[in-house]
Structure 1
Amino acid sequence: MVVQTAVPELYEDDAHSVVEVRTDSLQGLRELGPPDLVHLVKQPIGKSSHKQIGLYHHVTGIDASSSAALAAYINTLVYQPNDRQHKIASGLYCCYNAFSRVDMRVQVQIPGTVESYCVDERGSKLEATEEHWLETYLCSVLRAYSYADNGSGDTVKRIIGVRRFNPVTSTEQEQKFLDAAEKLFFSGWQLGSDPEIQVPNLVSNHLTSGLLHYIKTTGRFASGINLFEKLRSRDPEIASLLAKVYFAADEEVKAVQLLHEAVEELPMDYSILDCQAEFCNRKGRSDLALEIAKRGVVAAPSEFGTWARLAEVYVAQEQWDLALLTLNSCPMFTYQDKDAPRLPEPARVSLPLDPQTMCDEIDDASATPDAENVHPTLRRLAAGNYKGTFHKAYILLTEITKKIGWDQLLKIRSQVFVMEEEYRNEKQQGPERGGGSRNASTTALRGTDTPQPNGHGDIQEDNGDDQVPPSPSGTGASTNGSITEASSSSEPRASTTYLDPSVSKPTSSITVRSGAETPQPLPPTNEDDSYTQFRHKRLCERWLDNLFMVLYEDLRIFTIWRTEAAQYRQQQLAYKKTAEEWEILGELAERLHRGGEAEEAWHQCLGVRFSPKALRGVMASLGRKGERRGEVGALIRLVAWQWRWYSEFSPELLLTMRKLIEEEGAVKIRSIVQATSLPQHVLDLTHQYAALCAAFSSSGTEEGR
């Protein structure tokens, strides 16, 4: 393997051995494990002094199928030109095996011997077997895709000193990857799953996510179909994965036929039902998707995804009250972040530049985020920090707001949920009402008709919140407190099309943590009753109540921004903000589905300094508009910036290149790249992404025609 990026060097603190710290952290790993650790020992050249220096860096995407492959990587570091006063005496490569939960290690003495072994969670040294290496190789490929940067630079900046390589660069390597995945497929649930999944299973885990990510990125649909066809013969549940690949390959007829056969065989498999519901809803047939989504909830009531799909269908049908009730019923899970190195601060850091990545236009080495340069109200916006189920729920809430407006959303909220003032009045006016109640989960499921889940019985009514798993504690602050105003001026007037003249602050509702003992309102006496009386309403989950307050703050700050910008334009004054503030405003506009305002913020940010996050936003916007030259120009700069920070591989940038070639043809895209007024060594980096598409015979390349 030809190593082309420069090598970052993080110098070890004499008081802490990074290898020992990594060993101690093994028992705390819950996901695929951290990036590989490469620890080197250097000593001065030609001097009698025996003082040795410990330094390290991280890697993803290196072939970890054998000890020889990892030793070969260490050997490529011996002749690096950065340090001519020292030589490498030894190297240790650490690569985590998430199947067996051991750390595979290869110790290389230079010159000398190679020793391979593995270390378990207790720190015990074990013999490395062939099965261990197969598992380690597969984990290495999955980590390369899962932990890669999406082009915005957020992942690159999160962990310092990580070299990212593409683990699959040819059809031969692809076959090796898919063979390993096939052998270990039925153990994939051991790796964990995405944060939206409550319990990892055969079709929802990091292995299946990685396979689908790879197939989508490279466009190797035939290989994916072949793999899942073979696996489906062993277990019919895998039909949902096969259908997803068929849909991605634009083979919708085959996918629909497959789902029809699968649901006949497994009528209550929630993955198959969810795939059906998503397809029907995407095709504008929410009427067909509704009953399927309801059945999916019955099949897996403790999974977030089934409830979220039902909420999406209600949004498509413009049944806003049921959409909110369904959202309120979603089981929320504590976000489990990807495993990251838990190492002490390095004594010194060296981040050398590779000559082929040097370009003044993309230099942001001096741009360190400074919280002091960001207005406190922008820094306090909480929505940008949401991950997992809370992020998905917030997206659903913003989609409803986009379609009906903030004031209408508040009106519907007050119709379906118990508000604090009316709850106090109800308590004062009469004795506590008795009798059983129907919770929000059942209401959302029933709608106006009771679903018959394929002959498997009716949905059971419930007097409590048993169908809704407990929400994690501490999901948000109390919603009864006041929000600090962003400006001393009066509440701003909206200049947007979907906001009324002012952004109304939501009144407090009665919130509840799922499973807590709280008074339950009585159910409607008949299906035609609306939510206009107290006894017909539901209690709002605390996390959802908090989302309303966070959305209010987003809308309020957005309105202030647009009002101030309009005022400055009228007075022909420059509206100035720091690059960090423009980035936050761009993300804010994107969250609220305001593409034009987001693009404006990204351009303003790039006018201050280079920002990969802003440039990625511009690239996506230009792509939606079909402005290919601008999109290619942004792609070139993002590829070069990634290489400057030791990342040779970004699946999202590769996917963008593949889509461009698919639409315009490889010859045209190469010509646009070559016609760009950037140094040739920078353009060559993008040509490598195009060459990768040709190696995989992507549509639009000469091989793919």
Structure 2
Amino acid sequence: MAHNDCLQDVPDIFENEIGESLLARTEGLGMIREIGPPDLCHIVKIHTPSRSEPDIGSYHHVLGVDTSTSASLAAYINSLQYSLSETLGWFGSSSNWKIASGTYCTYNAFSNVDLRVQVKIPGGVDAYIVTPAGERREVTEELWKECHVSSLLRAILYADPTTYSVTGLRRMTPVASPREETKFVEAIVDQFWNGWALGSNAETQVASTARNFLVDGLMRYFSGEGRYADCAAEILAPLAYAPLGGQQSSSRMSAEFKGIDPEVAALLAEAYMEGDEEVQAVRVMHQALKVKSSCYPLLATQAEFLRRKKNPEAALTVARMAVKYAPSEFQAWAKLTEIYLEGGDFQRAMLTLNSCPMYTFVDHDYPRVPTPRRINFPVKSDVLSDYDLGEQGTGSMPPNSRASLDMDGPGLIEEMALNENSTILRLSAPTLRCTFARVYKFLTEIVSTIGWDELLLLRSQVFVMEEEYRNSAIPSAAVDDEDQAEDDDEHVPLSALRERHTAELSRPGDVDTAAEASNAVDVDAHVVDEDPLKGPEAEPTEESTAEPAAEPETPAVASTPASEEVGKGKKKNKKNKGKKSKDNLKAETTPSTEPQAATAAANEGEASAASIVAIGEQMDVISLSDTDHGEAKEMESQQQSDVDNVPPPVEQLSAPQTAVFEAAPSEPNPAPEHLPISGGDEESLVTKPEDGSDIIRKRLCERWLDNLIMILFDDLRMYTSWRSRMHNLRITGQPVTYRYTQAEWEALGDLALRLRRPSEAREAYEYALAIRFSARAWQRLLEMHSGTYTSMQQEEQRRHEGVPELMPLTSNDTLMQALDAVVWLSVYHDRWYNNMAYPNPVCEQLIKLINIHGLSKVRNSMVSMNLKPAVFNMVKKYFEVAEKFNVRGSKW
């Protein structure tokens, strides 16, 4: 175009038709599931010298603008007038394009409406709301307050560019001064009791007063600066000690006032614990437990406090109570698993993971916009002339950069071609989200502690393997699977598996094999049940061992990739799951077996067949009683050479056998110490120690957990291949940097972090930076230098040999390396219109450095780097945040 119609320092997305982005936003209001997409700023530009030029519509997305009044939004649109490109003339510079009008859209997550402010230049301001049905209504004062809080929460929860990225997004600081923070606190307190209407994160099933997006944003804001004491004193304490939290009407306050709200008290106690005020935390928990002892957030907080105080037995008791009172909440099960892992009880940790309620991941809300005509990303300053961010024409590398200027490496186009066929970039673990990512993290902790071989052995000890599952099948077993119609892909009746297995054995030419299988069933039918909790039963008659009537054949379940199976978690929890009774199971048995059951009960002392009922869905419910604390011993088998729970070494990892739907190596019939137990509403195999002290009940492994184990196997296999190749290259003296592309080095660094090997992750990130700039690699290195992975690094040095000693966090070299990362990330964020000072992942890590070294030392170290004034001003805003809000270390 002949005239420059772009903004100078703001991204510009141009429309094909004026207003199409507003229309697309209106159509997408009914599909918003969380706190909404970023704000949308739409402007219309006109060409002032010549009206023959058509008007232009463009827009960009914004986070952090003050949306409390229409005046603040009108001021933001008016400020864009000064960002238009100017054209040099004889008597100065002028702009041929002007902004004629603008519309600012912000989503109200409480009322599920879109508030819009239309500004005409020159002219007036018109504010209105748009419903999901497209209706236009008036704006009330309450809607303005709700919009202000919704906008603040989006700016805080979407502050990390690595987790939330939108094309043409501009980030601004939502709370820039203590005065604005006071306004922020007042708005949060005013809407606190309505926070449940916003919903909750993907790890919480039911939003409540203490589990919702408003609480998440509040804790994220204060935790990033380490100001837990301010959060407790200014917000949580007044809310917790208000009459019933202040949410009830005045007529009910006097009758129901109990002194403290239990759910808010859980948040208050957590804030006190993080702020090193444990006496206050204990006092608050004591008062709240007297009000409501069944509040699971309060019990989870108490369990965490006891765990930190090295009292695992008491923590375990409280965590079990939390699971008892909130069995459908993942957080309660996760806390119980964490305590089991810390206590070294890996068997019950695996059983607890198998019983966790898994929720389908709901992603953040992203804007729905039409295909743009063109996009403009202007460079804001000349800083990029000294910092190469991987873009063409941005200049050379500074002397303090780690990026290599070696031209022997592959070009960008060649790297992209290599990445398309890379197996490293196709690992499934990085795609895990929500509860599946948490469970996978627990599995990696188990592997880092006991190893892969022991994990497979542990898996075979606590879960029913394929051959055990088949050997426990008896033809007369009844099947009661009322949920089969809903979960055909996850549960297959026992009789159907038995019939399918018998049909495979009785194919033409396999008559002898089928006869052996039938003989094996006859042998199993006469094994005496040695359960000490049961008396001897009568010997079965011919009618009881007869084959039942033919059942409808159940189609085989086809195996699917692990990454697809993990995504099939169900958010609902069935009330009747695992609640089948004996009477319901007996009603479905054949009529001929009922009189024989009565005869068997009357004849004591005679041996009978072990009557095995169908394996129900209750097998994923673990016992929470204090008596079930026995340690399971290693399973003994007559043929150990073909059993799948003895894998080869790590260098030759073998994939674990699928628990139900894939064939496992053959195993003999269960030995007496592995007898099936019948009774109740479930069937399982038990392992009996030789002394008979305790029984470990086996259960079916959930398919999603089996898939996570397979994903872990893929990660370990790739990790082993990578480390072997690195070892060989170093022995032979060959170069290492370009053996992988930059994207592969980043993926290998993430892989090492997932497997809890931070030293090797750091090495991979440094190789990625040796090829080209990488914001992800710099961010991970900054987190390592600021102490985020300190505990993981200590565990790695304690468990593995040959790990290099890391520099202490208090050393000057660690500080300088961290500041180097801060500078590069600050330049990168400024390039992509991220002007948010706080909450910002870079600012949060810099505040950790200030907590360790003090503000004076960190600032003087930054001055000693001799940065350009423009670059120093980018970092200076982080120091100003530490001074304004008085974070720990800002006074020295």
TM-score with structure 1 setting the length:
0.87
Partners of 2:438 and 2:375 in 1: CA distance: 37
For residues 315 and 444 of structure 1, what CA distance do their matches in structure 2 show? 17
* Counterpart among 836, 842, 852 of residue 653 in structure 1: 842
Q: Choose from 456, 462, 467 the match for 1:410.
A: 456
Question: Could you say what secondary structure the match of 1:505 adopts?
Answer: coil
Amino acid of the structure 2 residue aligned with 1:268: S
Give the partner amino acid of 2:123: G
Do the aligned partners of residues 511 and 443 (structure 1) sit closer, same or farther apart at CA in structure 2, a change above 3 Å counting? farther
**Partner residue in 2 for 1:393:** 439
> What letter corresponds to residue 816 of structure 2 in structure 1?
R
Cα deviation, residue 545, structure 1? 0.5
- The letter for the 2-side match of 1:306 is A
Find the aligned partners of 2:185 and 2:332 in 1 and give their Cα distance: 29
- Residue 423 in structure 1 maps to residue 469 in structure 2: yes
Counterpart position of 2:146? 135
1:437/1:523 contact within 8 Å kept: no
1:573 aligns with 2:740: no
- For each residue in 1:276-303, what CA deviation from the matched residue of structure 2 results, as whole angstroms up to 9, or x when unmatched? 1122223433222100110000010000
2:211 alignment partner AA? S
Q: Per-residue deviation at 1:421? A: 2.5
Deviation of residue 682 (structure 1)? 1.1
CA shift in 2, pair 1:666/1:15, >3 Å: closer
For residue 750 of structure 2, the aligned residue among 587, 609, 613 is 587
Q: Partners in 1 of 2:134 and 2:661 — Cα distance?
A: 47
Quick one: which of 583, 598, 614 aligns to 2:777? 614
The answer on whether the counterparts of 1:5 and 1:648 sit within 8 Å (CA) in structure 2 is no
Deviations 1:351-381 (A, max 9, x none): 0111165354351335799475254311220
1:583 and 1:376 map into 2 onto residues whose CA distance is 13
CA distance in 1, matches of 2:369, 2:118: 20
On the 8 A contact 2:266/2:298 being kept in 1, the answer is yes
- Asked if 2 retains the 8 angstrom alpha-carbon contact of 1:98 and 1:139, the reply is yes
Query: CA offsets, 1:63-98, max 9 Å, x none?
Result: 000111111110110011436442111111000000
CA distance in 2, matches of 1:216, 1:356: 35
Quote the offset at 1:543 in angstroms.
0.5
Residue matched to 1:636: 823
Aligned CA distance change for structure 1 residues 15 and 224 (closer, same or farther; 3 Å): closer
Q: 1:599 to 1:220 in 2, by over 3 A?
A: same
Selected match of 1:196 from 203, 209, 216: 203
Question: Aligned residue for 1:696?
Answer: 885
Q: Determine the structure 2 residue equivalent to 1:263.
A: 289
Q: Is the 8 A contact 2:380 2:831 kept in 1?
A: yes
The CA deviation string for residues 15-69 of structure 1, in whole angstroms up to 9 with x for no partner, is 9701000000001101010000001111223113151111110000100001111
Answer yes or no: is the 8 Å Cα contact 2:8–2:378 preserved in 1.
no
Deviations 1:560-594 (CA, angstroms, capped at 9, x unpaired): 00000100111111122111111111111111101
Equivalence map 1:207-356=2 (5 Å): 207-225=214-232, 226-234=234-242, 235=245, 236-237=261-262, 238-355=264-381
Secondary structure, counterpart of 2:659 in structure 1: coil
Q: Which of the numbers 655, 658, 665 marks the counterpart of 1:505? A: 655
1:169 aligns with 2:176: yes
CA contact (8 A) 2:102 2:120 kept: yes
**Residue identity opposite 1:422 in structure 2:** E
Q: For 1:633 and 1:701, locate their aligned partners in 2 and report how far apart those are by CA, in whole Å.
A: 21
Q: What is aligned with 1:680?
A: 869
- Output the CA distance in 2 between the equivalents of 1:246 and 1:52: 57
Distance change >3 Å, CA 601–CA 402, structure 1 → 2: same
Q: Is 1:445 the equivalent of 2:609?
A: no
SS in 1 for 2:118: strand
- CA drift of 1:116 comes to 0.6
Identity of aligned residues (%): 39
What TM-score does the superposition give when structure 2 sets the normalisation length? 0.69
CA distance in 2, matches of 1:279, 1:500: 37
SS at match of 1:94: strand
Distance in structure 2 (CA, Å) of the matches to 1:229 and 1:441 = 39
Provide structure 1 residue ranges, at least 5 long, that are not aligned to the other structure: 451-491, 494-498, 513-517
In 1, the alpha carbon distance for the partners of 2:197 and 2:869 equals 46
Shift of the 510–603 alpha-carbon distance from structure 1 to 2, 3 Å rule, reads: same
Q: Secondary structure at the match of 1:89?
A: strand
Instruction: Tell me the equivalent position of 1:550.
Output: 711
- Please report how far the alpha carbon of residue 437 of structure 1 lies from its aligned counterpart in structure 2 after TM superposition: 7.7
Deviation at 1:668, TM superposition (A): 1.1
Contact 2:200 2:212 in 1 (8 A): yes
**What corresponds to 2:612 in structure 1?**
434
**Partner residue of 1:560?**
721
Specify the alignment match of 1:481 in structure 2: none
SS at match of 1:56: strand
Shift of 1:263: 1.7
SS for the counterpart of 1:443 is coil
**C-alpha contact 1:36 1:96 (8 A) present in aligned 2:** yes
**Change beyond 3 A, Cα 1:425–1:442:** closer
SS in 1 for 2:117: strand
SS of aligned partner of 1:207: helix
Distance change >3 Å, CA 699–CA 266, structure 1 → 2? same
* Alpha-carbon distance in 1 for matches of 2:416, 2:46: 37
Q: What does the per-residue CA deviation read over 1:240-294, in whole Å, with 9 as the maximum and x for residues that have no partner?
A: 1111211222212211222122222221100011111122223433222100110
Indicate how the Cα distance of structure 1 residues 664 and 197 shifts in structure 2: closer, same or farther if over 3 A, else same: same
Contact 2:688 2:695 in 1 (8 A): no
Indicate if the aligned counterparts of 1:361 and 1:610 stay in contact, CA closer than 8 A.
no
Deviation at 1:689, TM superposition (A): 0.8
Q: RMSD across aligned C-alpha pairs, in angstroms?
A: 2.5
- Counterparts in 2 of 1:539 and 1:382: CA distance versus 1, 3 Å: same
In structure 2, what is the Cα distance between the partners aligned to 1:110 and 1:400? Answer: 63
1:506-552 CA-to-partner distances (Å, cap 9, x unmatched) read: 1121279xxxxx97326678984454xxxx42001110000000000
User: Alpha carbons of 1:660 and 1:669: their partners in 2 closer, same or farther (altered >3 Å)?
Assistant: same
Q: Deviations over 1:400-428 (max 9, x none)?
A: 11111011000000111111122223335
Give the Cα separation in 2 of the matches to 1:507 and 1:433: 28
After superposition, the Cα gap between the structure-2 partners of 1:357 and 1:24, relative to the gap in structure 1 and judged at 3 Å, is farther
Relative contact order, CA 8 A, sep 6+: which one is greater? Answer: 1
Asked if 2 retains the 8 angstrom alpha-carbon contact of 1:31 and 1:192, the reply is yes
Once the two structures are overlaid, the 10-residue window that deviates more, 158-167 or 42-51, is 42-51
- After the TM superposition, which of the residue ranges 649-658 and 356-365 deviates more from structure 2? 356-365
- Segment drifting more, 105-114 vs 437-446: 437-446
What's the offset of the Cα at 1:131? Answer: 0.5
Q: What code does the residue aligned with 1:377 have?
A: T
Q: CA shift at 1:386, angstroms?
A: 0.6
CA contact (8 A) 2:202 2:362 kept: yes
Query: Is this contact kept in 1: 2:823–2:875, CA < 8 A?
Result: yes
C-alpha distance in 2, partners of 1:128/1:372?
Answer: 55
Whole-Å separation in 2 of the counterparts to 1:132 and 1:659: 37
CA distance, structure 2, for counterparts of residue 95 and residue 317 of structure 1: 49
Residue 126 of structure 1 corresponds to 137
The separation in 1 between residues aligned to 2:53 and 2:84, in whole angstroms, is 22
Query: Which residue number corresponds to residue 454 of structure 1?
Result: none
The number of residues matched between the two structures is 642
Secondary structure in structure 2 of the residue aligned to 1:122: coil
Deviation at 1:154, TM superposition (A): 2.3
**Which residue of 2 is the match for residue 477 of structure 1?**
none
Asked whether the equivalents of residues 375 and 581 of structure 1 are also in contact (C-alpha less than 8 Å), the reply is no
> Would the aligned equivalents of 1:39 and 1:92 in 2 still touch at CA under 8 Å?
yes
Distance in 1 (CA, whole Å) between partners of 2:463 and 2:872 is 57
Q: Compared with structure 1, are the counterparts of its residues 620 and 334 closer, same or farther at alpha carbon in structure 2 (3 Å cutoff)?
A: same
